[in-house]
Amino acid sequence: MIRGPAPRHCSVAEPTRTRFIESIQADGRGLGPDESRVMFPILLKIGGLTIHTYGFLLSVAFIVGLYTASRFGAKEGLNKDRIIDLGLLIAFSALIGAKAFLIVEDWSYYTAHPREIFSLAFLHAGGVFYGGFLLAVAAALIYLARQRMRILPVTDAFAPGIVLGHAIGRLGCFSAGCCWGRPTHLPWAVTFTSAYSNEVVGVPLNIPLHPTQLYEAAANVCIFLFLWWRFRHKKFDGQIFSLYLLCYSVWRFVVEFWRAHEEAGLMWGGAISTAQFISILCILAALLLYFSQHKKVYARSHVSVSRG
C-alpha cells in the first residue's frame, strides 16, 4: 500500500489522526455504507511477495509517460536517448521531492518522530505531487543546461506524458484509498471498506466520500487530449507546457475544495490548502510563460511583415 500525493492523512501523530477521522465521521453521519464500492489495494500475492495496485499502476504510469514523451520528443526533433535519460532523472527527482515535501508538510510530526522517516510506511509513501513536480523541474533544468538542450521544446514534449502518467497514478491512489475526499450525499460517492487501507493510509471506512482521485484522473485525461490536439497546432515553444501547467493547476485548485484536509495541510487559518497556494503560483507562472512567448512570436512576425 502506498500513500498518494496527499499522505498527510496518515503521517500525523495518532491522536491527531484519530481526531481527524472522527471529524470526517461526524460530517458523514447518516449517510450509511449501503452503496460501498470495491477497492483492490493489493493486486496479487505470490508466495511472500505482495504486489500493491498503487505500485503497479505507478510503474505503468512511468512507462506510459516516458513512451509518450519520447513520441512527442521525436516530433520536436529531440534525441531519443537524452529524452530517456531525462525521464529517468525526472522520475528519481520526483520521488525524492515528493517525500521531502511530505516531511515539510508534517514537519512537527517528523521532527518529533525522526525514525519514521526510515520506516517501511514512509518508504511505501508516494509523497506529495507538487513536491515531486517542483524538484523534477529543477533537476530537468540543470540537466538541460549541462546538455545544452533547448528547454522549452523539451518541456513541451514531456507535458503530455506527465499528465497522462499522472492520470494513471491517480487510479493507483483510488485503489489504495489515499487522497480521499470529503463526505457527500452525491450518487457517485464512493465508500471504502478495506480495513487494510484504513490501517495503512487512514482512509475513513463506511462513509460515502467524494471520489477526488477519479475527479483528477478524469481531468488529467481531458488535459492530455487537449494537449495532444494543441500540439498539432503549436505556435511557439513553451506553449504546450504552459497550457498543461495552467489547466492542471486550475483544476487542482478546484478539486482541493472537495478533498479532506488536516490542519497541517492548510494555510492562512484554513482559508486554502498548501496545494491551492502552490496552484496559484503555478497559474501565474504558466500565464507569464505563455504570454511572454506569445509576445515574442508576435513581435517576430510583425517585424517580418514590416520587412516584407
Kindly report, residue by residue over 78-103, the tens digit of the pLDDT.
998 999 999 999 989 988 888 888 78
- CB atoms under 10 Å from CB of 201, counted, come to 29
- pLDDT exceeds 50 at position 34: no
Q: Alpha carbon of 122 to those of 5, 16, 107, 182: distances in Å?
A: 13, 18, 14, 24
Q: Are 245 and 226 a contacting pair, CB within 8 Å? A: no
Nearest to 144 by CA among 24, 254, 241: 241
For 169-204, what is each residue's pLDDT tens digit?
A: 999 999 988 889 999 999 999 999 988 888 878 889
Q: Which residue has the higher pLDDT, 6 or 139?
A: 139
pTM of the model: 0.81
pLDDT, residue 205, reads: 92
pLDDT in tens, 18-33: 444 555 555 545 444 4
User: With b meaning 16 or more CB within 10 Å and e meaning fewer, what string describes 144-181?
Assistant: beeeebeebbbbbbbbbbbbbbbbbbbbbbbbbbbbbb
Question: Mean per-residue pLDDT for 106-135?
Answer: 75
Position 71 scores a pLDDT of: 94
User: CA 21, CA 265: separation in Å to the nearest integer?
Assistant: 15
- Radius of gyration (C-alpha) of the chain in whole angstroms: 21
Domains of the chain by residue range: 8-13+36-222
Amino acid at 215: Y
In angstroms, the CA 73 to CA 87 distance is 11
